[in-house]
Structure 1
């Protein structure tokens, strides 16, 4: 009798567990204005400012033009971000660019853009891990670092970042801490540079426009490098359903974060040029470490660890938002349902997080050089931005949700930004075709074929159904539902 009762209790508990998993959880609105700023600032300031001075300066030819490019890149990022802010407050859904393109111009371009974005996001995640590895190893290996050692450490950092992201409270606390570290680090570089100029003069900046390039495609590639340093301005737009008072906090957070970053970037580059000079900026793969050695001697080594922490913070912020975007794709049937599942207690997208972590590890293994990876990310990402801006133009012309209160931008702005991103995507292809352009086009074609096969014709892989049910029961996950 007792055995029968025990079996009945066990069966009842199992049924209750499965029943709980049939209830669709929702994202929880936990992101305040400060946290939104931290996520945006934290994602923007990671690897770019410590790599891109080299790329921007190489292609502009002079410190003067490079500073103009840095400023213009900040203005492009701000203009793009406020356009996205209107889309976020208009459509009210998480998912970022994928959501905007799907609602604006249709399923096929959205599918391609969504997969491109999550692929690029994993590439960016891998890139900041590689940069963190480079900076961690630099104090111990003054000569060239073995590539396998850099990759191994980068993979370890990717896995560590995944672990931290399995707790929403933990990752939000660490993102806030890294924000403080980043701001203090950047301010110390600015103050140190101006101290040096007051003491030693500004001889390195005496002829700021000497050897300036007149080649249009080189300026476009310089913009690629500069814009990479601003990647992440749209981070919080992936989290619309988790932001408190999103109609106010999303626009305000991007205006605060992008303005801060633009001002600091320009001042930091002035500091680099004044202290170590343009030639050493181009020659060095660890610019801020060279700067620290000149200004602080042996104590300059501390900047290596600060940069690594900054890159790690960018990885944390990026993975936090990227996995939510992947969830939204799967929620609407644009990827396998398994990726739309979150932990039923905390609404953490653990499956999507594991997927992005695996992709990042693959990028760490096969990536061929930081500058080459940067160019690939910027080239393909430009086409996604074009589609998102076209979506905003179309939705505004259709007066979508026009009667609702929301953040708005004038119609000419997204039209202008469409032309800017078309220029940035097309001009380098015409003037200097490269292997990463071909890879980008092939990737777009592959994703389009996948859309036709699996979305248009609704082909199914039946074995996934059993796998999905098994994982659901094993991990206690369920498909995320919309907040509205």
Structure 2
């Protein structure tokens, strides 16, 4: 009798557990305007402004042209961001570029774009972790005395920590807000520090700003790669449309606020670098802020390394938060394995997608060589995806998609212009100076398209995945996310 009762209780518990996992959880609208600004600002301002100045200056040849490039990159980011704001409010679903390209062009290009974006996000996650680790160890060890793989091992540990914290929505949102304050204070300190330096030491390093300016237009296009990487993340909040409160108002407003703030601060910070340490030292250092801090504050300047490291970590938190939502939305439409569409049934956190993104980032960290090379690869891949997204907006506007609904709108000429800009940025460097990262980016796109044809177009299935999916679902208590619409 006791055995029968135990068996009945076990069956009941199993059925109850299965019932829990058959429900379709939805993303929860918890993101306010301030949080949207924090996520966008936090993703943009990570490692880029502390690394990209070297790449921009290297290819422009002068501080004057580099400042023009930084300003133009900000304008490109703003124009692109408001285009994405219209797409987000037009289509009303999370998933960012994948959702936009799927509606505008079709499933195949959207699938390729989504996997390229996952690659881009993983690489960017790895890069901010590497830069954070670099700034952590630089005050204590110079380049010659660093043990092999010390920075990479520390970066991997930081990525695992970011993953763990992202498993709690409340905790990660609090950390993103705190790091936003740290970022703004650090950037303002760098800007104000330059005024103090110039009042005390003069502006001799800012004379002849256009001396050495490149006459090669192709090099300027490559300089844009480095600059645009520092603005990468302006679309972060558009991955989270289904989680943003009053999204028709808050998405456009958060984008305009965050990108405007970033552009102004970036230009002023670069002026500060040139005024305090000069273009030559910007070119010779991988830790520009540390050089700047030592010039201004002596050995106390090493404290800036801590703030820069925290800033980079903040970008990691924001990036993983947004990117895994996009991956989750791709999977719920059947364009990747179903596991990636599964979220925790209690908090709607895409745990499986976060595991996947973290593993890919660790691989990137281990095999990637050279910050500037990784930066150029990520920018090239990102530009390729942006071409498809901007063209999608042009097509949807010409088709008058959802024209009868209230939404944020931009003039048709803007996405047309941005399509041409991203085509230029993607094609010109390949023609002028083909490199390994161009080949890898194109090869990845071809491989992803073949995968789409085989597994999505012809609906090929691997039966063992079903058993794996069920096992993981029961083990981790996850279910496939549903849509609001």
TM-score, structure 1 as length reference: 0.99
Query: How much does 1:20 deviate?
Result: 1.1
**Residue 94 of structure 1 corresponds to which residue in structure 2?**
94
**Residue 75 of structure 1 corresponds to which residue in structure 2?**
75
Q: Does 1:328 align with 2:332?
A: no
**Residue 447 of structure 2 corresponds to which residue in structure 1?**
446
**Superposed counterparts of 1:430-445, under 5 Å:** 430-445=431-446
**Residue 185 of structure 2 corresponds to which residue in structure 1?**
184
**Residue 244 of structure 2 corresponds to which residue in structure 1?**
243
Query: How much does 1:214 deviate?
Result: 1.1
3-state SS of 2:231 partner: coil
Query: How much does 1:7 deviate?
Result: 2.4
Q: Which segments of 5 or more consecutive residues in structure 2 lack a partner in the other structure?
A: none
Cα-to-partner distance string for 1:193-213 (whole Å, 9 max, x where unaligned): 111111111101111111111
**Residue 208 of structure 1 corresponds to which residue in structure 2?**
209
CA distance in 2 between counterparts of 1:40 and 1:143 reads: 33
**Residue 55 of structure 1 corresponds to which residue in structure 2?**
55
CA distance in 2 between counterparts of 1:241 and 1:146 reads: 45
CA distance in 2 between counterparts of 1:355 and 1:73 reads: 31
Query: How much does 1:146 deviate?
Result: 3.4
**Residue 458 of structure 1 corresponds to which residue in structure 2?**
459
**Superposed counterparts of 1:363-382, under 5 Å:** 363-382=364-383
- How large is the RMSD of aligned CA atoms in angstroms? 0.7
**Residue 483 of structure 1 corresponds to which residue in structure 2?**
484
Query: How much does 1:155 deviate?
Result: 0.6
CA distance in 1 between counterparts of 2:113 and 2:142 reads: 41
CA distance in 1 between counterparts of 2:301 and 2:395 reads: 51
Query: How much does 1:132 deviate?
Result: 0.5
Larger CA deviation: 137-146 vs 346-355: 137-146
**Residue 45 of structure 1 corresponds to which residue in structure 2?**
45
Q: Which segments of 5 or more consecutive residues in structure 1 lack a partner in the other structure?
A: none
**Residue 414 of structure 1 corresponds to which residue in structure 2?**
415
**Superposed counterparts of 1:39-188, under 5 Å:** 39-144=39-144, 145-188=146-189
Query: How much does 1:63 deviate?
Result: 0.7
Query: How much does 1:383 deviate?
Result: 1.0
Query: How much does 1:3 deviate?
Result: 3.4
3-state SS of 2:277 partner: helix
CA distance in 2 between counterparts of 1:32 and 1:58 reads: 40
Cα-to-partner distance string for 1:456-478 (whole Å, 9 max, x where unaligned): 11110110000000011111100
**Residue 312 of structure 1 corresponds to which residue in structure 2?**
313
3-state SS of 2:479 partner: strand
3-state SS of 2:142 partner: coil
TM-score, structure 2 as length reference: 0.99
CA pair 81-160 structure 1, distance change in 2 beyond 3 A: same
3-state SS of 1:229 partner: helix
Aligned positions, number: 484
Cα-to-partner distance string for 1:73-119 (whole Å, 9 max, x where unaligned): 00000000000000000000000000000000000000000000011
CA distance in 2 between counterparts of 1:6 and 1:108 reads: 51
Larger CA deviation: 13-22 vs 82-91: 13-22
Query: How much does 1:368 deviate?
Result: 1.0
